[in-house]
Amino acid sequence: MKVLVLAERPGAAEELCAGARAMGADEVALVAFGDMEMPPSCADLIYRVTVPEGLSLDNATATVNAIFDHVRPDVVLVEPTRHMRILAGALAFHGGTSAIADVMELDGDVASSMYYGGAAILKRKPGKTAIYLMQPGAFGDSVAASGANQEEPFAWVDPGATVKVLSSEPIEKSGVDLQKADVVVAAGRGFGLESDLDMARALCDKLEAGLGCTRPLAEDMKWLPRETYIGVSGLMLAPKVYVAAGLSGQMQHMVGCDRAGTIFAINKDADAAVFDQCDYGIVGDIQTVLPLLVNEL
Ligand SMILES: Cc1cc2nc3c(=O)[nH]c(=O)nc-3n(C[C@H](O)[C@H](O)[C@H](O)COP(=O)(O)OP(=O)(O)OC[C@H]3O[C@@H](n4cnc5c(N)ncnc54)[C@H](O)[C@@H]3O)c2cc1C
C-alpha cells in the first residue's frame, strides 16, 4: 500500500508517516514545502516543492495534484491546517474522490470523527482514494516513522488563478506553542477573575507548560486568545501531561485533551465530570491548591 503525506509541520509529518506505517504502508511519500526540515528516517521518498516568492501555500493545488498523479497513492494522510485543508479539498476534486475531515481514529478504512459538537461519533468510509485529515494523536504513539528520506525536487505547477499574499504580520504570542507543549495547564470558569489566571501562569512557569483554557474563557470572557481554547471546536491536543484546573470536564472540552498521557484535575466540586476522566484528581479550591502546588514545585 502506498501512502502520501501532506503536512506543514515536521512533527505532524513524522506522526502521519508513522501512522502510515501503522496502517501497513510499504511505501510512504511525503511532500515537503519550502525548506521545511524533515525528521530523520521519516518517509521513503520526500518530494521537495519550492513555493514561488509571494505566493501562498494555497496555490500548491496543481503541484500536489501532479504529485498525486505521479505517486498514485492508495491513501493520503493530511495535517488539518488551513493550507492543507485547501490542498486536500482540491486534491479530492482532482482525484474524483472525497476528503474525510476531523478523523480521530481509523479502523481499517473506516474513519471516526466527533459529531454534533462531540455528542456523537460519525463513522465514514472513503470513496475511491482515501483522503483523511487526521487529528493530532489519532495514531497513538505505539508506532514509529521509518524510511530513507530519499529526497527529490518536484517542479512547481502553475495553478492558473493564484492567491497572492499582500502582506503578513506575525501575531505577538506569549508563552508556549500548545500543539508542541509536553505539558499544558488548562483554566476554566473556576477562575473567577482574569487576575486569577496569574496562578495558572505561575504553575506554567514551574512546569514549563503552555496555558490553555475552556471555550468560555476565550470566547465569552476573552481573557485568553481564541487560539488557546481546547476542545471539539478548538485545539485537539495530545500532550504528555494535562492539568485541568477549575473546569467542569464537559465532553466538548475533554475530547480536546483525552489523548494526553496523564490528566490531573483540580476542582472544588467532588462530583465534577472531570474527575471521571482524569488520572489524578484534587478536590479543592484553586485559590488554595494552585499556590500550594507552585510552592512545592
Ligand atoms: C457545539 C459546542 C461546542 C463546544 N466546544 C467547546 C470547546 O471546543 N471547548 C470547550 O472548552 N468548550 C466547548 N463548548 C462549551 C462546553 O460545553 C462547556 O460549556 C465548557 O467547556 C465549560 O467550561 P468550564 O469547564 O470552564 O466552565 P463550567 O462548566 O462552568 O465549569 C467550571 C468549573 O469550575 C469549578 N470551580 C468553580 N470555582 C472553583 C474554584 N475556586 N476552585 C476549583 N474549581 C472551581 C466548578 O465546580 C465547575 O466544575 C462547546 C459547546 C457547544 C454547544
User: Are residues 125 and 16 part of one domain?
Assistant: yes
Domain identity same for 18 and 127: yes
Mind listing the pLDDT tens digit for each residue in 77-117?
Answer: 999 998 999 999 999 999 999 999 989 899 999 999 877 66
Give nearest CA residue, ligand 1 atom 48: 248
Q: Are residues 136 and 224 in the same domain?
A: no
pLDDT for the residue numbered 171: 67
Q: Print burial letters for 99-123: b (CB count within 10 Å at least 16), e (below 16).
A: bbbbbbebeeeebbbbeeebeeeee
Does the complex come out with an ipTM higher than 0.95?
Answer: yes
248 Cα: distance to centroid of ligand 1 (angstroms): 5
Please check whether residue 114 lies inside any domain of the structure: yes
Among the atoms of ligand 1, which is closest to the Cα of residue 232?
8
What average pLDDT does the chain have?
A: 92
Answer yes or no: do 41 and 131 share one domain.
yes
148 and 192 housed in the same domain = no
Pocket-forming residues, ligand 1, beta carbon under 6 Å: 117, 188-190, 214-216, 229-234, 246-248, 250, 252-253, 256, 266-269, 272, 285-287
In a domain, 74, yes or no: yes
Quick: pLDDT tens for 148-207: 999 999 999 999 888 887 887 776 666 678 988 999 999 999 999 999 999 999 999 999
Query: How many domains, in total, are found in the chain?
Result: 2
pLDDT, tens digit, for every residue of 18-77?
999 999 999 999 999 999 899 999 999 999 999 998 888 999 999 999 999 999 999 999
What is the residue range of 200's domain?
183-296
Q: How confident is the model at residue 127 (pLDDT cuts 50, 70, 90)?
A: confident
Nearest CA to ligand 1 atom 52: 117
Residue 281 in domain: yes
Consult the annotation and say whether 287 binds a ligand: no
| 123 plus 17 within the same structural domain | yes
- In this structure, the answer to whether residues 140 and 224 fall within a common structural domain is no
Q: How far apart are CA 49 and CA 143, in angstroms?
A: 27
pLDDT of 289 higher than 70: yes
The CATH number that applies at residue 37 is 3.40.50.620
- Give the sign of the dihedral formed by CA 273, CA 274, CA 279, CA 283: negative
Distances (CA, A) of 255 to 17, 234, 251: 23, 10, 6
